[in-house]
Chains A and B, each alone.
Chain A
Amino acid sequence: MSEPRLVEVRRNVLKQNDIIARGLRERFREAGVFVVSLVSSPGSGKTTFLEKTLTDLQPRYRVAALVGDLATENDAVRLARSKAPVKQITTGTLCHLEAAMVESALAEWDLSKLDFLFIENVGNLVCPSSYDLGESLRLVLMSVTEGEDKPLKYPTIFNSADVAVVSKDDLAVAVEFDWEAARKSIESVRPGMKIFRLSAKSGQGMQEYLEFLGRQLAEQRLVART
């Protein structure tokens, strides 16, 4: 037996996922669809927020959603009430979505018929951060009932996101939510992040967020043309 030696290999462990995600991003760009992925902890109101988003965007835009869930189809059933096309990705025991799952779920979709596609990840603030899904924008959702320091507890996912939405603002007074403290903790883990404060239930704050999405779509299409 020869002496052990060290050989350099330099292999990115998530290379396969990243390659698929790059392909998806290219496909989304060519189809002119703006893709938003949603991450949050379980119970933050992701499905209510998404249902409201789908409903409110529909008069002006063509929208659809992919929903990752561990076992049930409850979220897809709820989202279908918005009348938008919704497809469930049941992950089984897997705690996050991977690019290959998105790719196979979209295999038969004509993306050029869409303006917005939303991908709701499994409720989890840890695992989804490692996996690029080819999205145009990653949105992290936290509700006022979760506590102002949530970003400091899960810095990796907040840092990987582009936009933060603080939801259930209609409950803010009841739970004595400290808005300034929350803003500071988001800013600490992700300087310069765009933050929206809203309530999907009352609709307050939704308009500003929807207008932002509209601008993002227009911008992406402009860049794709040049």
Chain B
Amino acid sequence: MHELSIAMGIVEAALEEAERRGVQVSAVHLRLGALSGVVKDALLFSYEVACQDTALAGSRLIVEDVPVVVFCAKCEKEQTLPSVQSFACPECAEPTMNILHGKELEVFALEVEDEEVSQ
């Protein structure tokens, strides 16, 4: 269970970006690859904990699952794998390790509101 340290990394990255832009974050959009080694449910739970007592408290974590996409040399095109248990082209069954997507663990975007200027 390393999701708490991953969640803390997400919070840290989002806080830095928010501070730099002078904005209030209401949601964090994360791209999570099927090969990232991170369990989504554990991460969502950990995120709440990691947000406590920070400017992100109460914000949401929105996870976009990224499947594994490989390049099949035989079909000469990109193919999305239906499962991480078989690294073979779903069309022609050619084994492949030419992985294009699926390792993502990336804070992709922030849903923000501009901070109110105090009078």
A binding-site residues for B, Cβ under 8 Å = 1-16, 94-96, 126-127, 129-130, 152, 155-157, 159-160, 187-192
User: Chain B interface: which size bin?
Assistant: 35 or more
Cα of A16 to Cα of B6 in the assembled complex, Å: 12
Determine if B38 is an interface residue (Cβ-Cβ < 8 Å): yes
CB under 8 Å from chain A, chain B span 67-100: 84-88, 95-97
Cα of A160 to Cα of B88 in the assembled complex, Å: 16
Determine if B26 is an interface residue (Cβ-Cβ < 8 Å): yes
| Known A1-B116, A11-B17; contact A127-B2, beta-carbon cutoff 8 A | yes
Cα of A1 to Cα of B110 in the assembled complex, Å: 17
Q: Tell me the minimal C-beta distance from B65 to chain A in angstroms.
A: 14
* B5 contact set on A, CB distance < 8 A: 94
Q: Tell me the minimal C-beta distance from A107 to chain B in angstroms.
A: 22
In the complex, the answer to whether B38 meets A130 with C-beta atoms within 8 Å is yes
Pick from B21, B37, B111: contact of A4, CB below 8 A.
Answer: B111
* A8 contact set on B, CB distance < 8 A: 108-109
In the complex, the answer to whether A159 meets B106 with C-beta atoms within 8 Å is no
Determine if B107 is an interface residue (Cβ-Cβ < 8 Å): yes
Specify which of B6, B37, B84, B96 lies most central, judged by the most chain A CB atoms within 10 Å of its CB.
B37
